[in-house]
């Protein structure tokens, strides 16, 4: 059992959890992931690592409510326990002295770029971080990333903060301005990672992407996380999650990720209906007990 030390809302439907997991945290490295299970009967959910407090043995994960299980997790409170936190899983990000590194995080992919930026900085690199969100209220981890980077650049799709546009608008400007860039690493939605890779292809900048296909066991046994990289089948959970972005077949990955969307939607809608019914029952019980007093 793994205790939730504290929880905070980062933006709508997105919560940060700090979980007590000392043994896992000692072994974990930037770029790896964990699999959470809310309770004994719960679904296994892969989550990127959003922070490793090695001194206190605290793991940070950020959960976006996108379906039934993530919604149920986001209703947990400080002091509650996850049945399982399995990990660290996957291979750590490739950390060495590259020179000038650009770390890119988009939307809910922003928190996982934080430990990677920290590790690249600790390895002696100069780190520029670019983060992007649809609007200001969806920007997260900017303070953490400002402290982990030499420079933090921000974009919003609606222009409400920073550069008006995508993270690739900012990246393209750096390239056009002639900045020497030795490596790019990005975490975020698949269209973003595909766009980053298309931006760095022609100038031939080494680019790593952190892939998050559908996962089940997370240990290379079920085949759910199959992706094609450089024409070869790879399993994101054991061969990744980081891969050379210029070699990834993003179109195939996009198709595979859409396979279960319909079923996830049905399960999520069912959960919200039950949640609403339960809320009304609790309200009615409270009103009844209040009127008896």
Looking at the DSSP assignment, which residues form a beta bridge with residue 61?
A: 17
**Rule CB under 6 A: is residue 174 a binding residue for ligand FES?**
no
Residue 10 interacting with ligand NAD (CB under 6 A): no
Residue whose CB is less far from ligand NAD, 48 or 125: 48
Judged by CB, which is closer to ligand NAD: 11, or 58? Answer: 11
Please report, for residues 6, 76, 155, 183, 270, the alpha-carbon distance to residue 264 in angstroms, rounded to integers and kept in the order given.
28, 20, 30, 36, 10
Residue 195 engages ligand NAD in binding (rule: CB under 6 A): yes
Smallest CA-to-CA distance from 237 within 209, 216, 256 is with 216
| C-alpha pair distances (Å), 275 with each of 90, 190, 280, 287 | 34, 31, 9, 18
Binding range to ligand NAD, per CB under 6 A, among 51-59, 93-101, 190-198, 218-226: 190-198
Identity of the residue, 20 or 224, whose beta carbon is nearer to ligand FES in the bound complex: 224
Residue 220 touches which member of ligand FES, ligand NAD, none, C-beta under 5-8 Å by kind: ligand FES
In the chain, what is the straight-line distance between the N-terminal and C-terminal CA atoms, in Å?
39
Count of chain residues binding ligand FES (CB under 6 A): 12
The answer to whether the Cα torsion of 268, 270, 272, 274 is positive or negative is: negative
Q: How far is CA 195 from CA 42, 114, 154, 258, 268, in A?
A: 35, 21, 17, 19, 30
Picked from ligand NAD, ligand FES, none, the partner binding residue 153 (CB below 5 to 8 A depending on kind) is none
Residue from 139, 145, 167, 215 that binds ligand FES (CB under 6 A)? 215
Residue among 196 and 237 whose Cβ is closer to ligand FES: 237
Closest CA to 244 of 261, 262, 232: 232
Q: Which does 30 bind (CB under 5 to 8 A by kind): ligand FES, ligand NAD, none?
A: none
* Site stretch for ligand NAD (CB under 6 A), options 71-79, 116-124, 184-192, 221-229: 184-192
Six-digit token pair at 26?
Answer: 């000692």
Q: Which does 195 bind (CB under 5 to 8 A by kind): ligand FES, ligand NAD, none?
A: ligand NAD
Q: 37 phi and psi, to 5 degrees?
A: -130, 125
Select from 42, 57, 165, 220 the one that contacts ligand FES (CB under 6 A).
220
Binding ligand NAD by CB under 6 A: which of 48, 60, 93, 207?
Answer: 48
Contact residues: ligand FES, CB under 6 A: 215-218, 220-225, 235, 237
Contact residues: ligand NAD, CB under 6 A: 48, 106-109, 112, 132-134, 155, 157, 166-168, 187-189, 191-192, 195, 210-212, 241
């Amino acid at each position: 059992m793994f205790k939730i030390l504290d929880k905070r809302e980062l933006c709508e439907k997105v919560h940060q959890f700090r979980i007590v997991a000392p043994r896992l945290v000692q072994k974990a490295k930037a770029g790896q992931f964990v699999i959470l299970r809310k309770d004994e009967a719960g679904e296994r959910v892969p989550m990127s690592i959003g922070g490793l407090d090695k001194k206190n043995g605290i793991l940070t994960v950020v959960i976006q409510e996108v379906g039934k299980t993530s919604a149920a997790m986001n209703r947990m409170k400080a002091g509650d326990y996850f049945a399982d936190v399995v990990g660290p899983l996957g291979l750590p990000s490739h950390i060495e002295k590259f020179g000038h590194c650009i770390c890119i995080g988009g939307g809910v992919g922003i928190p996982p770029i934080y430990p990677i930026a920290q590790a690249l900085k600790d390895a002696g690199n100069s780190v520029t971080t670019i983060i992007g969100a649809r609007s200001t209220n969806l920007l997260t981890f900017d303070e953490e990333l400002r402290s982990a980077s030499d420079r933090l650049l921000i974009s919003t799709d609606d222009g409400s903060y920073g550069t008006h546009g995508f993270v690739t608008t900012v990246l393209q400007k750096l390239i056009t301005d002639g900045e020497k860039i030795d490596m790019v690493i990005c975490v975020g939605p698949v269209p973003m990672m595909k766009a980053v890779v298309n931006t760095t292809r022609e100038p031939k900048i080494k680019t790593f992407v952190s892939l998050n296909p559908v996962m089940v066991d997370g240990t290379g046994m079920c085949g759910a996380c199959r992706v094609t990289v450089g024409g070869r089948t790879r399993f994101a959970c054991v061969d990744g999650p980081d891969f050379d972005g210029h070699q990834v077949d993003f179109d195939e990955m996009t198709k595979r990720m859409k396979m279960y969307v319909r079923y996830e939607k049905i399960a999520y809608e069912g959960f919200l209906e039950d949640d609403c019914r339960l809320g009304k029952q609790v309200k009615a019980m409270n009103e009844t007990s209040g009127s008896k007093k």
